[in-house]
A and B are shown apart, each in its own frame.
Chain A
């Protein structure tokens, strides 16, 4: 049985995503912090995107870099940032820097009787950034149509 994924706009600049997983926090954390595992789920198959490289240096001040390929972007597009908080099995926080300063993401892992509640908080630099789509361009570009993705591509350097 799969658990519900909830998304809520908590304020003008914040989006909160919640889901419970049927496993202990250390396993969920492992799937989030080992590149060979992370790259299996972060980019859903339905997105049409292929992850061509995934580097994660999981420590405070360490960086990550994900490069995707899509039929509309055969040369690839990169998403990158810096880890700001790393508490094993409990919390991760990182910046998203591909658009010259995007959202700040915090993930918490909370284990209760063998299950783990994951809360992702995305804090955007401004209300407009959340409204108009850093994430719609970047993250949800994955589920957007081909045309919309193409519109977004000129913004990626």
Chain B
């Protein structure tokens, strides 16, 4: 559990930044070099390297250097762990609220009938 908590920590910290979430979203559509990402997000190479470093540290992104180009891709499974965790809450509340919808609809009908 402690280990899991650390993974979550690093992941949430990494995802607290809009640019980094954008990078994850971009890499979800295909691998990209640091240069591509810097261009896309209108940043310096140094700035983008820092963001990618944070994501890499959290295990959300892996990078590989071939020649002079560093290619970034999504990490194997950690984003999934983070989304699974939130998804559990979402499913509970959605199930609740779907049934609340039914109750609200009934109350509305009753009011109309009056």
Of B95, B97, B98, which contacts A47 at CB under 8 A? B95
B93 on interface, CB distance cutoff 8 Å? yes
Q: Which residues of A (15-66) have their CB < 8 Å from a CB of B? A: 15, 17, 19, 21-23, 27-28, 30-31, 37, 40-47
**CA gap between A45 and B1 in the complex, in Å:** 29
Q: Is the CB of B89 within 8 A of A131?
A: no
A128 on interface, CB distance cutoff 8 Å? yes
B29 on interface, CB distance cutoff 8 Å? no
Which residues on B sit within 8 Å (CB–CB) of A127?
Answer: 9
Q: Which residue of A lies closest to B90 (CB)?
A: A7
Which residues on B sit within 8 Å (CB–CB) of A43?
Answer: 96
B8 on interface, CB distance cutoff 8 Å? yes
Q: A21-B97, A31-B100, A45-B99 are in contact. List 17 more A-B contacts (CB 8 A).
A: A2-B101, A7-B93, A19-B97, A21-B101, A22-B104, A23-B107, A27-B104, A28-B100, A31-B104, A37-B103, A44-B98, A44-B99, A131-B5, A131-B8, A140-B89, A142-B92, A144-B88
**CB<8 Å pairs between A and B, sample of 17:** A2-B98, A6-B90, A7-B93, A8-B86, A19-B93, A19-B97, A23-B108, A27-B108, A37-B103, A37-B107, A41-B96, A41-B99, A42-B96, A45-B99, A120-B93, A131-B8, A135-B89
